[in-house]
């Protein structure tokens, strides 16, 4: 019950702050992005920890939300019409998804091979037939691969926040059944799925790293 009340408070806070936003379209976009980020970040912090975690999460989310809002305003300024802007964002997100489909499939196969190799090396080391240096060298390669995966995940999360902000803003100005919004929402859902798959790969790489520890 306490958690439910906190979620309601976050939603109400976002509604009140959004109602207070005035000024130019660019200023509105930045402010609304901050509000959205604070609400989402606060909720994430609360679900992870306690009230202190929520405060930290809200601060981090507000920062991400502001950056997302600023990027939305920057991108919109490059197009003469709302339609051109949305078409460009649909194409951008579709390109991310096409790249990530290939990347995640290749990563899945690579990680499967690494898991097998790590198990083989670990058994050999435990049996005294493999040197420690061999495991450590392979572990270093895995850690570099893990750092790459986590950085990509972070970059995609930022793009997801931007696209989410775009959808929220443009929905207010367009009909509920606007086909461009529907297309962008579809691409954003796929982007979220690709991020989830990427995150799963990162978790597996971290497990391989642990398995190679000596």
pLDDT in tens, 108-156: 999 999 999 999 999 999 999 999 999 999 999 999 999 999 999 988 9
Residues 96 and 197 in one domain: yes
Q: What residue numbers bound the domain in which 23 lies?
A: 1-78
Q: What percent of the chain has pLDDT over 90?
A: 53
Closest to 39 in 3D by CA, of 156, 122, 150, 161:
161
Please compute, for residue 121, the number of CA atoms within 13 A of its CA located in the half-sphere on the CB side: 22
Residues 42 and 63 in one domain: yes
212 vs 214: CA distance, rounded Å: 6
pLDDT at 65: 62
35 vs 65: CA distance, rounded Å: 7
Residues 164 and 197 in one domain: yes
Those residues whose C-beta lies under 8 Å from the C-beta of residue 66, and which sit 6 or more positions away, are 30, 33, 34, 37
Residues 16 and 84 in one domain: no
Average pLDDT in the 70-83 region? 90
Residues 26 and 130 in one domain: no
pLDDT at 67: 72
Residues 35 and 113 in one domain: no
Closest to 70 in 3D by CA, of 13, 39, 103, 25:
25
Residues 44 and 101 in one domain: no
**Of 76 and 46, the one with more pLDDT:** 76
Q: State pTM to two decimals.
A: 0.70
Residues 67 and 5 in one domain: yes
pLDDT at 62: 52
Structure tokens at 114: 């690494």
Domain boundary among 78, 101, 122: 78
pLDDT at 154: 86
Express each pLDDT in 160-172 by its tens digit.
888 988 898 898 8
Residues 124 and 182 in one domain: yes
Residues 177 and 196 in one domain: yes
Average pLDDT in the 191-195 region? 93
| pLDDT band at residue 201 under the 50/70/90 scheme | very high
| pLDDT band at residue 5 under the 50/70/90 scheme | very low
6 vs 193: CA distance, rounded Å: 27
Domain boundary among 53, 78, 103: 78
105 vs 23: CA distance, rounded Å: 46
Domain boundary among 59, 78, 97: 78
- Counting the structural domains of the chain, the total is 2
């Amino acid at each position: 019950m306490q958690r439910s009340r906190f979620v309601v408070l976050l939603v109400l806070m976002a509604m009140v702050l959004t109602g207070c936003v005035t000024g130019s379209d660019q200023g509105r976009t930045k402010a609304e992005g901050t509000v959205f980020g604070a609400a989402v970040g606060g909720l994430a912090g609360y679900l992870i920890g306690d009230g202190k975690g929520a405060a930290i999460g809200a601060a981090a989310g507000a920062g991400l939300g502001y950056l997302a809002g600023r990027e939305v305003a920057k991108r919109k300024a490059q197009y003469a019409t709302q339609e051109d802007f949305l078409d460009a964002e649909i194409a951008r997100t579709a390109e991310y998804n096409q790249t990530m489909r290939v990347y995640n499939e290749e990563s899945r196969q690579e990680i499967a091979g690494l898991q097998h190799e790590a198990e083989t090396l670990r058994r050999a080391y435990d049996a005294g037939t493999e040197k420690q240096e061999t495991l450590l060298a392979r572990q270093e390669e895995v850690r570099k691969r893990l750092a790459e995966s986590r950085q990509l995940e972070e970059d995609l999360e930022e793009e997801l926040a931007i696209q989410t902000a775009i959808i929220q803003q443009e929905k207010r100005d367009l009909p509920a059944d606007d086909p461009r919004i529907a297309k962008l929402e579809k691409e954003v859902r796929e982007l979220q799925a690709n991020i989830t798959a990427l995150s799963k790969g990162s978790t597996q790489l971290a497990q391989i790293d642990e398995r190679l520890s000596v």
